[in-house]
Amino acid sequence: MKVIGLTGGIASGKSTVSRMLRRKGAYIIDADEIAKEIVKAGKPAWKDIIEHFGRDILNDDGTIKRRKLANIVFSDEKKLKMLNEITHPRIVEEIKKELEACKKRKEKVVVIDAALLLETGLDVLVDEVWVVAVDEKTQIERLIEREKSISYTEAMERIRAQMPLEQKLKFATRIIDNSGDVENTQNQVDKLWREIEKTCEDSPYEM
């Protein structure tokens, strides 16, 4: 089984690339989906979050006001650290569980799609690190376009809270440049997929 860690900044195009890889046949472990799952009402992380951030961050139905919580933590480094300490170990634990299940099912290629792959040390679990790169101007434009009501300042806060791209690139086995159009990115993914298939063929006993 080949395990690829797919990472990159917010709105760099990780989901776009992971969709392309899914169409190729990769199994995707989506850290964002897991992050949403573990904070559902009643779960241990949800309880810890209320304990630290108060009930003001809850909607009437008990779900977390994601936007409100995001605004609190992205303007206060200590609070972001606190939230990460609550959520990250649980996300990592779930990812490890999914990875074990993939091994049992004998998946050929598994992609861990995680913005915080490197920050959480998940990269020790992967064979290759693929970094989706985009220039900051395009990143901000796409982030604002996707989130609609986010301001320029909020967009910058979210980008600055993450590990800078040039640092991420130091860990990269492969780089996917998503500054161009989707077709251009698809071509890069097609090429990388052919190479991955080749390495799988070359090591049949790993499968």
> Using CB under 6 A as the criterion, which residues of the chain lie in contact with ligand ADP when the complex forms?
8, 10-16, 142, 146, 178, 181-182, 185
Nearer to ligand ADP, 181 or 201 (CB): 181
Shortest spacing between CB 158 and ligand ADP, in angstroms? 10
Q: Least distance from C-beta 188 to ligand ADP, angstroms? A: 10
Nearer to ligand ADP, 87 or 178 (CB): 178
Q: Which is nearer to ligand ADP, 97 or 146 (CB)?
A: 146
CB of 115 to ligand ADP, least distance (A): 7
Long-range Cβ contacts of 159-168 (<8 Å, 24+ apart)? 159/9, 159/10, 161/74, 161/77, 161/80, 162/9, 162/10, 162/115, 162/116, 162/119, 163/118, 163/119, 165/8, 165/9, 165/12, 165/131, 165/133, 165/136, 168/7, 168/8, 168/9, 168/118, 168/131
Question: Could you write out the DSSP letters of every residue in 48-60?
Answer: HHHHHH-GGGB-T
Q: How far is the CB of 134 from ligand ADP (least distance, A)?
A: 8
Closest CB to ligand ADP among residues 6, 58: 6
